[in-house]
């Protein structure tokens, strides 16, 4: 994977794609102030170098029947690297787990979990998560609403170095 040194145009391209992944190359190039062919080459280079990891649709969970979002703090019995990796491999296989973050401090992992209702979360918790190998405890926090959901990272459009 070849590393690309980001310039102002690359940062504008990344910013616009992060905000609007379905933007056309013509519109993207216009916003970046370059013509379409070099813009497309830049996008491909940003993809190949790993700056752009993928594209996805932002699906409304409630419209798909997932009315519950829970943040679960998971503590493990062992923090040996092999045990941490085994836990990560296990939760990657669980469709209800939408995010998995390893943390420093008392909690080993923070999971974002979706469920159709409280009963289905309880079933997930008791049949899949707490019985998982090496799990010591799980603390669940139900999310009532989200005030902000911003994908990606802040991009400084004026910086010229990566």
Which pLDDT score, from 0 to 100, does residue 4 have?
A: 72
Which pLDDT score, from 0 to 100, does residue 161 have?
A: 53
Q: Which of 97, 109, 103 has its CA nearest to residue 136?
A: 109
pLDDT tens series, the chain, 162 aa: 566 789 999 999 999 999 999 999 999 999 999 999 999 999 999 999 999 999 999 999 999 999 999 999 999 999 999 999 999 999 999 999 999 999 999 999 999 999 999 999 999 999 999 999 999 999 999 999 999 988 899 999 987 654
Q: Which of 66, 119, 76 has its CA nearest to residue 97?
A: 66
Strand-strand pairing, 109-115 and 97-102: antiparallel
d(CA 14, CA 152): 10
Which numeric CATH code is attached to 62-143? 3.30.70.920
Count CA atoms within 13 Å of residue 92 on its CB side.
Answer: 7
Query: Which contacts (CB < 8 Å, 24+ apart) does range 120-125 have?
Result: 120/68, 121/68, 121/70, 124/94, 124/96, 125/72
Q: Are 138 and 125 in contact (CB under 8 A)?
A: yes
The predicted model scores a pTM of: 0.86
Give residues with Cβ within 8 angstroms of 107, minimum separation 6. 73, 74, 75, 139
Domain spans of the chain? 8-48, 62-143
Which pLDDT score, from 0 to 100, does residue 162 have?
A: 44
Strand stretches in 50-120, DSSP E: 68-76, 97-102, 109-115
Helices and strands counted in the chain (H then E)? 5, 4
Which numeric CATH code is attached to 8-48? 1.10.10.10
Per CATH, 8-48 and 62-143 having the same topology is answered: no
Q: In what order do the strands lie in the sheet with 109-115?
A: 97-102, 109-115, 68-76, 135-143
Which pLDDT score, from 0 to 100, does residue 1 have?
A: 57
């Amino acid at each position: 994977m070849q590393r690309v040194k980001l310039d102002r145009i690359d940062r504008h391209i990344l910013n616009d794609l992060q905000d609007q992944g379905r933007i056309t190359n013509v519109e993207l190039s216009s916003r970046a102030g370059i013509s379409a062919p070099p813009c497309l080459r830049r996008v491909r280079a940003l993809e190949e170098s790993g700056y752009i990891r993928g594209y996805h649709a932002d699906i409304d969970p409630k419209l798909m029947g997932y009315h519950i979002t829970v943040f679960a703090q998971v503590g493990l019995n062992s923090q040996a690297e092999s045990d941490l990796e085994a836990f990560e491999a296990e939760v990657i296989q669980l469709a209800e787990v939408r995010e998995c973050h390893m943390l420093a401090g008392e909690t080993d992992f923070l999971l974002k979990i979706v469920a159709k209702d409280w009963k289905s979360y309880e079933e997930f918790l008791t049949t899949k998560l707490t019985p998982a190998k090496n799990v010591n405890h799980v603390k669940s926090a139900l999310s009532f609403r989200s005030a902000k959901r911003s994908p990606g990272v802040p991009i400084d459009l004026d910086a010229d170095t990566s």
